[in-house]
Structure 1
Amino acid sequence: MKVKFLIIIPAHNEENNLSFTLDSLQQQSFKDFKVVIVNDGSTDGTSEVIKKYTDNDSRFETVNLQKSAHQPGSKVVNAFKNGLNTQNIDEFEIICKFDADIILSENYLEKVENSFKNNPKYGLIGGLLYVEKDGDWVYEGNSNKHHVRGPMKAYRKESFIQMGGIRETLGWDNIDSILLENLGWKEIVLPELHVKLIKVKGADYTIKPADYYGRYFYFLGLNRFLAYVASSKEAMKSKSVSFFFNIIKAYENCCSNKLELKISKHEQKIINDQRWNMLKKKWLKM
């Protein structure tokens, strides 16, 4: 008999946050799930936190890794894949990548499961991220409300397999959306599902914002024209001309060094075509 959910949670030095995430899973109204916590070289008390759950709840398992390089995107996906490789995914119906610093509402899994069951073309489902501000939980607002953010991805197994899983690269959580859409699957945000994000994303990255965007546009597979357009958009948000040139410098450095992309030429074309269509629709009104 299949288990509905396989939930994989990469965790690095999350002793202050992880228990909130795991408690919210134990409190789910939908109980048919398995959780694999991937302890990615933690040096704090993360392993002790994990042990409290694995010792007392058979649905919780752990995988221990040596610390990997802390690069945006690739580190967390590497940990996720290590967790996934310990499981037989034929035994599950829905594959989730959750962060170790989120709190889910009690009906989260139930709502996701019902949505997948009632809508056979749904390939990726999630809620909306909320952060604490002045004592209140407010919508994070870092992305449009139709995009499932990286901390709370739930994939229909068939869609996950068809797109070849998630990529170990910066931009993975946009690449998956584009590839799934191209394959005919729908990415769905359920706005009534509020996911509390305990800490701000990117707070522990040392990479500078301009370098981040330059690398992000490169690893997303954007051609030079679309990368420059995207860079100008970010520069306009920051009201900084120098920010534009710094992003471009980072992008061109990646090009010069011919850094390896984790997407195929065909997938790169899909992503560029999608970006170009968005550009025509939003900017050129075509």
Structure 2
Amino acid sequence: MRFLIIIPAHNEEENLPFTLDSLLQQSFKDFKTVVVNDGSTDKTPELIRKYMDNDSRFETVDLQKSAHQPGSKVVNAFKNGLKTQNTDGFDIICKFDADIILPGNYLETVKNAFENNTEYGLVGGLLYVEKDGNWVYEGNSNKHHVRGPMKAYRKECFLQMGGLRETLGWDNIDSILLENLGWKEVVLPELHVKLIKVKGADYTIRPADYYGRYFYFLGLNRFLAYIAASKEAAKSKSASFFFKIVKAYEACKTNKLELKISKEEQKAINDKRWKMLKKKWLKM
């Protein structure tokens, strides 16, 4: 199996060397990496070229800076990198972030998982962040979901689900769509991936607006969106937070903002969320 790795990067001169060095140290060597320079104003471009000069497995694509919107920006950069490549010679397509450190056996373990399990469509490890000098589990998602910074897709699965969606919530949409197509998303808990930068730290969008927009672009119907909003409000112990999320969600509906999923895919997403809700809260 051969890996095609796409890494979007904007002003990552401090973090990117850790990511690229961890790729150089992989026990499995058959990969190609395309670093997409998304309008960086620091030394990210020069840094990328140093790796290119020393290893033919590294390439770059230079973009003008795209609008900084959660979700859509990184997928836009990923797609621009992917379209420069002929995927015929690859078996696994990866979307990695520019601020992660992979364990040395990451690619080999992922490769073996795909080879030994033909139903696996998406595979990844668990994210760990530094806290008080120790690396601890990030905990922003359940341990059965492959997080956005370290996605590895079987190419057939990736193509069948139509690739990644340029929208907020893309890294949950993919999980639901591939499962609906009969593929499996699998987390390998022994693979600890270090996340250098806390996700969302550079987003300017307010939390309530984020959740409202997220639930809308995920394609949730009003009932499920309100349930999800109530859960977030409960976590924050703030009733007003619920109404702010709902306001953002309803604003998206009023403005009829474009969804990046089809009606059939939206139905699959809502059916999945409803099943999860019944299983967790109604014990059905």
TM-score by structure 1 length?
A: 0.99
Equivalent residue for 2:139?
Answer: 141
Equivalent residue for 2:246?
Answer: 248
Cα offset, 1:32, TM superposition? 0.1
Q: What is the letter of the counterpart of residue 49 of structure 2?
A: K
Partner residue of 2:4 out of 6, 14, 18: 6
Equivalent residue for 1:159?
Answer: 157
Q: What is the letter of the counterpart of residue 136 of structure 1?
A: N
Q: What is the letter of the counterpart of residue 178 of structure 1?
A: I
> CA-to-partner distance for each residue in 1:222-281, whole Å, 9 max, x for gaps?
000000000000000000000000000000000000000000000000000000111111
Q: Aligned with 1:14: secondary structure? A: coil
Q: Aligned with 1:277: secondary structure? A: helix
Alpha-carbon separation, structure 2, partners of 1:163 and 1:144: 22
Alpha-carbon separation, structure 2, partners of 1:280 and 1:109: 37
Q: What is the letter of the counterpart of residue 4 of structure 1?
A: R
Q: Give the 5 Å matches for 1:181-200.
A: 181-200=179-198
Cα offset, 1:48, TM superposition? 1.2
> CA-to-partner distance for each residue in 1:149-196, whole Å, 9 max, x for gaps?
000000000000000001000000000000010011000000000000
Q: What is the letter of the counterpart of residue 156 of structure 1?
A: R
Work out the number of aligned pairs and report it.
284
Q: Give the 5 Å matches for 1:70-85.
A: 70-85=68-83
Equivalent residue for 1:126?
Answer: 124
Equivalent residue for 1:266?
Answer: 264
Q: What is the letter of the counterpart of residue 207 of structure 1?
A: I
Q: Aligned with 2:267: secondary structure? A: helix
Q: Give the 5 Å matches for 1:199-214.
A: 199-214=197-212
Equivalent residue for 1:222?
Answer: 220
**Consecutive unaligned residues in structure 2, runs of 5 or more:** none
Q: What is the letter of the counterpart of residue 48 of structure 2?
A: I
Equivalent residue for 1:103?
Answer: 101
After TM superposition, what 4+ stretches of structure 1 lie above 3 angstroms from structure 2? none
Q: What is the letter of the counterpart of residue 5 of structure 1?
A: F
Alpha-carbon separation, structure 2, partners of 1:51 and 1:62: 8
Equivalent residue for 1:42?
Answer: 40
Identity of aligned residues (%): 84
Q: Aligned with 1:129: secondary structure? A: strand
Alpha-carbon separation, structure 1, partners of 2:77 and 2:273: 29
Cα offset, 1:285, TM superposition? 1.0
Alpha-carbon separation, structure 1, partners of 2:274 and 2:143: 21
Alpha-carbon separation, structure 1, partners of 2:272 and 2:5: 30
Q: Aligned with 1:55: secondary structure? A: helix
Q: What is the letter of the counterpart of residue 62 of structure 2?
A: N
Alpha-carbon separation, structure 1, partners of 2:144 and 2:278: 19
Equivalent residue for 1:257?
Answer: 255
Equivalent residue for 1:66?
Answer: 64
Cα offset, 1:91, TM superposition? 1.1
Alpha-carbon separation, structure 2, partners of 1:59 and 1:90: 16
Alpha-carbon separation, structure 2, partners of 1:173 and 1:232: 22
Alpha-carbon separation, structure 2, partners of 1:133 and 1:277: 35
Cα offset, 1:98, TM superposition? 0.1
Q: What is the letter of the counterpart of residue 33 of structure 1?
A: F
Equivalent residue for 2:90?
Answer: 92
Q: Aligned with 1:259: secondary structure? A: coil
**Consecutive unaligned residues in structure 1, runs of 5 or more:** none
TM-score by structure 2 length?
A: 0.99
